[in-house]
Structure 1
Amino acid sequence: MEGEFPRHYDHEVRLGVRVPQAQAAALLALMCGRPWRFREVGATPEHRDYDVHIPVSGAALGAAVAASVRFRKACDRSGVDARIVTSARLRPGPARTHAYLVLPRVAADRIPANVLLALTWWRARGRVHAETLAEARSLVPEFVARNPEAGPADSLTVAGLPDRMHTSERSPVLGAVALGVFLLVCGAVLLAAWSAGEAALRPFLTTLVAVPLVFGVWQVLIRIPESLAGTWFPLVITVLAIPAMVALGDFSLTVYLDAFGIGANEVALSGVSRFAATTESAPPVIQALVVSLGLFGLVRHFHLVTLGVAPFLIGLAAVLLALAYVLGALTDQLRADTAQGEAHVEAYRAEGGEARFHAGVEPAVVCVDPGEDPVVRVGPPLTTDRPVLYFKGAKDVDLLWDREEGVTRVPRFSVTLTPVDTLDDPCPG
């Protein structure tokens, strides 16, 4: 068998390949340049037959189809006219030997094997591997010859469960029964959540969707050593996550300040304020990242891009679904910020109270004293008989927001500002 496999893979698929004699050299060059294993199994004057072993990562279901598609694509790109005759996923056979513990001999020879193992397993001198318990006991002298520090052979014994427990195979009926019970339990829980109303149904559905998505993300992460996750899609969306958080934080500030009639570029924001806005925008971006990576991992793990007659449509549908969720999550966040800004404006007008914090913005409550000299302003007249909200503006322009008149823009240091606690406090003078 020629060729080498990569270090990480889940399944091995054997393809029976037939190629014309004129194309045999090209096929050999193709297989030597791929992480495949192959051997020639027959030849005639017209063609040559090869067994090609292709490693496949992901689920067992669809692995043979994925390997066949991968081989055909490689042949098409290289211009090799090879035909797949047979394909099968190799299944590991049952283990022929079992490990038995070598333990110090005890006086009570009638102790059941499971009890003996439970009481003395920590005193094991080592293990012997054999097909039956009788064969394991016959190998004790050889074990002592190779490991003299274990003690004399007459002071050791071999303990293990009965052979029938080792050689028993799992019945497919048990798997079907377990799957049926799992589906029944999920159906019962779903029915109970549906009966309880939306308050219980929504968390259940969220959890039900989150489990496969987290599994998909896990598949992306564990495939990193195989270089299967280094494709453009997970790399790009992961790299764009942090800029997306910053951009969403800026959008949150924009829509929040818009409720006060203030532009985001008019307010001087510190690094702490921008970091707070980015932190508040992180959960929807992380959720969108998990959904996107989860869908990508599920599509790759279950070989969905290789199944059916339109693999491109399946991949495109997954990308569009992830994009729709991303846009929906970001839109919901912006709507929430807009609603929060409108709610704060209404609360200021109806209740007054202290300044409220949101998305890194927390105005100060001040009283305004314009002095005797006229003040250059943009907006309604200055309010001096009650407190207003002060937003530190950019470009040496401060913003004073009154709950009745709106926002007034004045040059910095052109008026005297006296801090107070709430909008309901009286102003001096």
Structure 2
Amino acid sequence: MPGGPVAEVERVFRAEYGRAVAVLVRRFGDIEIAEEAVQDAFAAAVERWPATGVPPSPAGWIITTARNRVIDRFRREASREDRHAQAALLYTAEEPAEEDPVHDDRLRLIFTCCHPALAPASQVALTLRLLGGLTTTEIAGAFLVTEPAMAQRLVRAKGKIRDARIPYRVPKDADLPDRLKPVLSVVYLIFNEGYTASSGERLIREDLCAEAVRLGRLLAELMPDEPEVKGLLALMLLTESRRAARATRDGGLVLLPDQDRGLWDHDLVAEGQALVRQCLRHGRPGPYQIQAAINAVHSDAPVAAATDWSQILRLYNQLLALSPSPVVALNRAVAVAEVEGPGAGLALVDSLDLGGFHLFHAVRADLLRRLGRDSEAALAYEAAIARTENAAERDFLRRGLQSLNRA
């Protein structure tokens, strides 16, 4: 097996961590205990699989080992008289009855983490930790906070779920709309982390992309009349359709204008565009629907030069009015640069307070290069390089800087 048992442990971790945690939460009802047991099971796999070989069902081995760890823990605690009844109940209980039509542990866990009793930032962070398998460091970076602060936030969120006895289930139909916004946000963040990993050597984490799309399809089945659900699914499908063209054979980043569009997955393009048309018929535009429409315009162009940037700019105007944020404004500035020229785009970029965001500096570098302001562009490239943790992005930016030095 290429890479050997340790590499297989890493693959199974990326693919199955969230499902294993979700299965144990359903079985035992405690997120912290479930997460610790799954982590212990993966640690055991690192020790054992090199000697015993990878088991026929690696994911099953992890879940079984983790479940046995929890049972052993409760048996030890059952020796303490004050915990005997509770522990005995937990490790001998029958599997809980299915109370909702969605038989998916990970979707249940998302709705649990996105309960309104938790602060919105904690909802997203906890789900990324449990479902995406992201490290506390990666999540802290996404929220622009320190790792200790994020660790404390995660501990508090898990404690609140436990102490408030927040139910582990998909809410009833009447409660779904109120819970939808953070759930969609979490699924999209999982997809984004997969599409461009925030750190590490690989540009793309295919496992997270696939998981986010799977959850998006489940949500679309659960809530077929919610246009933002369709919009999110369309956005992910249209973005995912370009994955094969986004990297060179050696893993280098390829930007959208330089991609070989023949490598795009045209079945995903067609499915995404069909969903966008369905969203238009609803007549209730939302941020995900507009972003999907922007990507649909990109996918309509047979070559980059044929892109209808005026239409994209109109959509960004609508998105900025509906969901104003510095990142949306940055993306709109890129569209302005295509329609009105790099000078107009740069003026908008320089008005934004995004100094800690590597893409802000990367966009500035490109616009300054196009304006012939090479020395300023070099400084912007250096600032972008210093702020990205992804090796593929860093290499791409270094090539841009080197091209300036050769000019």
Q: State the TM-score, normalized to the length of structure 1.
A: 0.20
Structure with the largest fraction of helix: 2
Structure with the largest fraction of strand: 1
Q: Give 1 or 2 for the bigger CA radius of gyration.
A: 1
